[in-house]
Amino acid sequence: MEETVVRAEGRFLTKENLSEEITFKTNYSRNMLDMNDLIDHEAPPVDWLVKYFLPFDIIGLIPAAGGTGKTFFLLELALSVATGTCFLKPEWVTGEPGKVLCVLGEESEDEIHRRLQKMILKNGYDPQQKELIKRNLRIELTHGSNPGFANNQTDDSHSDFFNDLVADSINQRYKLIILDPLSRFYKADENDATRATLFIEKLELLKEQVKQETGEKIVVLGAHHVNKSSTKSDMTAGMMRGSSAFVDGARWVLGLQKINAEDWCAIMGYSMAPNEKANSLIQARNDPERRLWVRMERVKANYIAPQTEEEFLKISNIPSTGGTLSLSEPPKNDSFASNNRKDDCGSVTNSMPGLN
């Protein structure tokens, strides 16, 4: 009994008792890989936007609760790429300076102005680096506009905003596009897996059209809020609010989380013996130092080695740089942080195992 494949409307069907293949012309464009190339030639190395931390050619997500410092974090990353300086520590190199677009939906112009000045002061940028920031960093605020990616959130049409974003990204040749928060561009039921998948596909379309027209790879990063339970539990890919389709479609997910009282007890070495646990938790909750620390963890990173150690960010409480973030280690902890990491980008740190 002979079988053949009938190709129609992008689906494969089987028919019995047919001796030849029947092909119907469709509008679907398929991208078949060249197996000779895959088998006979050496695979290219990972192309990094931030070496050992964030690869090119991906859709990435940063879930974090409000007040965690995600916008400060994203702006810090944007400044590093725009100036070609390391991001948070020496190993995380950004390479040649490149253009960055930040589309922000929550902060006012005055607040962005204050935050940028604080970060410029903290990082000590020289006049040449400040000129690179002026040239390479673009910040767009979406207050009073409708930046949804679709004309109608019940279909997969492209809005004028989305089409303009694609054209601008091609013309400007951005290396990094930041969308904060994603909910300003999604505008549909976050628990709808079908809608969430279509939205991720739009982000992929943006990335692929830029690559097709310019020949260059980019990174598209979106910040998103977390579900209520995530503030009281370990960070996982499921910490993100809404459908799991968001995380399933992304290739890189970095979680930011304030440190809860129980974890602070472990960091500070407070006793958790049954007769002392209650007092220790009260002490931890009331410790103002605890509120200055954020745990950072790559909860999904498909193309790089897994994270093997905890990473912590400290929020500055100095008025001139308040709110800015630095990679650092909590006051006491042998199990949560490395022993020789310092608190700025130019100091000695541990390298990431398995990536040298």
Q: CATH number of the domain at 106, please.
A: 3.40.50.300
Query: Of 150, 233, 239, 161, which Cα lies nearest the Cα of 196?
Result: 150
Task: For residue 185, give the amino acid letter.
Answer: F
Examine residue 273 and state whether it is found in any structural domain, yes or no: no
The average pLDDT across 3-17 equals 47
Distance CA 223, CA 225 (A): 7
Map residue 31 onto helix, strand or coil.
coil
pTM score, whole prediction: 0.82
The H or E element that residue 219 is part of is strand 219-224
Scored b (16 or more CB within 10 A) or e, 255-280 reads bbbbbbbbbbbbbbebeeeeeeeeeb
Is the distance from CB of 239 to CB of 255 less than 8 angstroms? yes
Which residues, including other chains, have CB under 8 Å from residue 50's CB and lie 6 or more apart?
Answer: 77, 80, 81, 87, 92, 93, 94
| pLDDT greater than 60 at residue 216 | yes
Is the distance from CB of 277 to CB of 264 less than 8 angstroms? no
CA-atom Rg of the chain in angstroms: 23
Q: What is the pLDDT of residue 208?
A: 95
Q: Per the structure block, which two tokens stand in for 129?
A: 């680096």
Examine residue 348 and state whether it is found in any structural domain, yes or no: no
Query: Of 297, 287, 294, which Cα lies nearest the Cα of 329?
Result: 294
| pLDDT greater than 50 at residue 3 | no
pLDDT in tens, 23-40: 555 666 678 889 999 999
Number of helices (H) and strands (E) in the chain: give both, helices first.
Answer: 10, 14
Tell the residue number behind the tokens 């500070």, with chain if given.
268
Examine residue 14 and state whether it is found in any structural domain, yes or no: no
Q: How many domains does the chain have?
A: 1
Per DSSP, helices labelled H in 124-192 are: 127-136, 160-172, 183-186
Identify the burial level of 178 via C-beta atoms within 10 angstroms of its C-beta, where 0-12 means exposed, 13-18 middle and 19 or more buried.
buried
pLDDT in tens, 306-318: 776 778 999 999 9
Examine residue 182 and state whether it is found in any structural domain, yes or no: yes
Task: For residue 298, give the amino acid letter.
Answer: R
Examine residue 97 and state whether it is found in any structural domain, yes or no: yes
Residue span of the structural domain in which 97 resides = 48-259+295-307
| pLDDT greater than 80 at residue 349 | no
Examine residue 11 and state whether it is found in any structural domain, yes or no: no
Q: What is the pLDDT of residue 59?
A: 95
Q: What is the pLDDT of residue 1?
A: 44
Distance CA 43, CA 39 (A): 9
Examine residue 138 and state whether it is found in any structural domain, yes or no: yes
Question: What share of the chain in percent tops pLDDT 90?
Answer: 51
Q: What is the pLDDT of residue 47?
A: 93
Q: What is the pLDDT of residue 128?
A: 97
Examine residue 237 and state whether it is found in any structural domain, yes or no: yes
Is the distance from CB of 137 to CB of 82 less than 8 angstroms? yes
